[in-house]
């Protein structure tokens, strides 16, 4: 009877200890490695921003809703088209990939208004857009 009691105490202790050790930990790897902005500006800021917003929205949907780790998008309405590409590392979870995209999309908007190209590179992902 004594060995069964020891086994029961061991199992209870083991099960209780699992509450203190996370099984997985989120890590979208958003340490900025490189960024760059084009020195050239779009000719129509309003049109360009509409295209940029549509393109980033499309990428966000692909990464967040379709769980893609690689996505391209474009919006070419008017005179200032935007072509974009996003990729995150294959070993990132879908939620970490989406989180890395969110950080990259916010950072890439720090380029001067109307900059017709930009890139940001993180440990876990990269995002770039251009008008050509």
Query: How do the domains of the chain map onto residue ranges?
Result: 25-130
Q: Which residues pair with 114 in a beta bridge?
A: none
Given phi > 0 = left and psi -120 to 50 = alpha, else beta, which region is 101? alpha
Give the pLDDT of residue 114: 80
- Mean local confidence (pLDDT), 44-49: 92
Please report, rounded to a whole number, the percentage of residues in the chain having pLDDT higher than 90: 70
Fold (CATH) for 25-130: Killer Toxin P4; Chain A (3.30.430)
Statement: residue 96 has pLDDT above 80: yes
Statement: residue 94 has pLDDT above 90: yes
Please report, rounded to a whole number, the percentage of residues in the chain having pLDDT higher than 70: 81
Report the predicted TM-score, pTM, of the whole model to 2 decimal places: 0.79
Q: The sheet that has 70-75: what strands, in order across it? A: 32-37, 117-122, 125-130, 82-88, 70-75
In sequence order, the 6+-apart residues with CB closer than 8 A to the CB of 87 are 69, 70, 71, 125, 126
């Amino acid at each position: 009877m004594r060995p069964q009691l020891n086994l029961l105490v061991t199992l209870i202790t083991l099960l209780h200890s699992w509450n203190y050790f996370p099984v997985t930990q989120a890590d979208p790897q958003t340490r900025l490695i490189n960024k760059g902005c084009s020195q050239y500006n779009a000719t129509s800021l309003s049109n360009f921003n509409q295209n940029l917003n549509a393109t980033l929205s499309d990428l966000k949907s692909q990464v967040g809703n379709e769980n893609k780790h690689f996505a391209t998008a474009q919006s070419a309405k008017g005179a200032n088209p935007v072509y974009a590409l996003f990729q995150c590392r294959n070993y990132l979870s879908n939620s970490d990939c989406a989180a890395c995209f969110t950080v990259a999309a916010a950072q890439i908007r720090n380029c001067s208004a109307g900059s017709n190209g930009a890139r940001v590179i993180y440990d876990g992902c990269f995002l770039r857009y251009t008008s050509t």
